[in-house]
């Protein structure tokens, strides 16, 4: 199998209240894919269904060990999904508001890169398997 990158999308997400790195990470992934249409998976790559693409997600966020990975991947509507979470992003001093159940003054910022991979084709135009 020879996978080829089809597209890389970048995004940013913030949890201003709640101090939940999963919320920030999911918002970053949603932001990365929010304004995309991928007709090329059919017209160029020749896939018959979007679940045939491979979607690799990388997220950098404060407190990565607290990220609930299944919730982040649930943002993606299609594809064979994988997620790598690493320490990064940013913690910004905000303002705790008791009515919003803030634990502290932190705002968590996450960044994400979403890469779509497709199976490559050989010289005759056949999909490599």
Domain of 19, CATH number, reads: 3.30.1330.20
- Would residue 108 count as lying in a domain? yes
pLDDT in tens, 27-45: 999 999 999 989 899 899 9
78 within a domain of the structure (yes/no):
yes
Query: Is the overall model pTM greater than 0.85, yes or no?
Result: yes
Q: Is residue 127 a part of any domain in this protein? A: no
Is there a domain that residue 12 lies in? yes
Place 120 in a pLDDT band, splitting at 50, 70 and 90: confident
* Long-range CB contact pairs, 44-52, < 8 A, 24+: 44/6, 45/6, 45/118, 45/119, 46/121, 46/127, 47/118, 49/78, 50/77, 50/78, 50/79, 51/78, 51/79, 51/80, 52/80, 52/118, 52/119
Number of domains in the chain: 1
Domain span at 111: 3-119
Residue range 8-25: mean pLDDT, rounded? 96
Note whether residue 126 is domain-resident.
no
The answer to whether residue 129 is domain-embedded is: no
- Confirm whether 58 is domain-assigned: yes
Please report whether residue 54 resides in a domain: yes
């Amino acid at each position: 199998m020879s996978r080829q990158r089809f597209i890389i999308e970048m995004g940013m997400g913030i949890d201003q209240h709640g101090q939940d790195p999963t919320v920030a990470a999911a918002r970053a992934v949603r932001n990365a894919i929010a304004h995309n249409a991928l007709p090329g998976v059919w017209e160029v790559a020749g896939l018959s269904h979007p679940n045939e693409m491979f979607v690799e997600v990388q997220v950098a966020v404060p407190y990565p060990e607290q990220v609930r990975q299944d919730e982040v991947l649930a943002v993606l509507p299609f594809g064979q999904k994988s997620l790598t979470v690493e320490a990064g992003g940013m913690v910004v001093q905000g303002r705790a508001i008791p009515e919003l159940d803030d634990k502290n003054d932190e705002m968590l910022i996450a960044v994400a890169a979403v890469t779509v991979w497709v199976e490559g084709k050989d010289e005759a135009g056949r999909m490599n398997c």
